[in-house]
Amino acid sequence: MAGAVVPFLSAAAGVYGSAVVQRVTDRGADVTADVAVGWGRRLMGLFLGSSRSAQVGAAVTDVAENPDDEAFTAALFAQVRRALAEDDRLAGEVAAILAEAGVAGGSKFTVTVSGSTGVQVGDHNTQTITMAPPPAR
């Protein structure tokens, strides 16, 4: 689910810059903001009300200040994942917002592969596998 949340938080960070936490807590700000930013604001509001508020807020600010640095995005992902793992209520509320936004939340596919020579995961894919018989002994 964290992988589905981070792009929304990053969108809000990209629009609001380093003042992202202040802008998200200001309820009157940017009522006409882009849809993704709007979802990001809603999600960020939930995370700012969680026990990891300071950590997630700092990570989002870092992403806003360093938008092209993947290390900061990875740190945000880690903080979001921790917050979701520690708080079932938060995870439920985030899942509801993601569902409302039409996002699967990262739990669409569960894959277990053992001894395979080809794997494909995703929607609307086609895969053809031609396997030779095992070598003669």
Q: Is the pTM of this model over 0.75?
A: no
Residue with tokens 């030779």: 132
| Model pLDDT, residue 79 | 92
pLDDT on residue 56:
92
Q: Name the residue with tokens 């990001």.
A: 40
Min mean pLDDT across 57-61, 64-68, 73-77, 133-137 is at 133-137
pLDDT higher than threshold 70 for residue 125: no
* Angstrom distance (rounded) from CA 103 to CA 72: 23
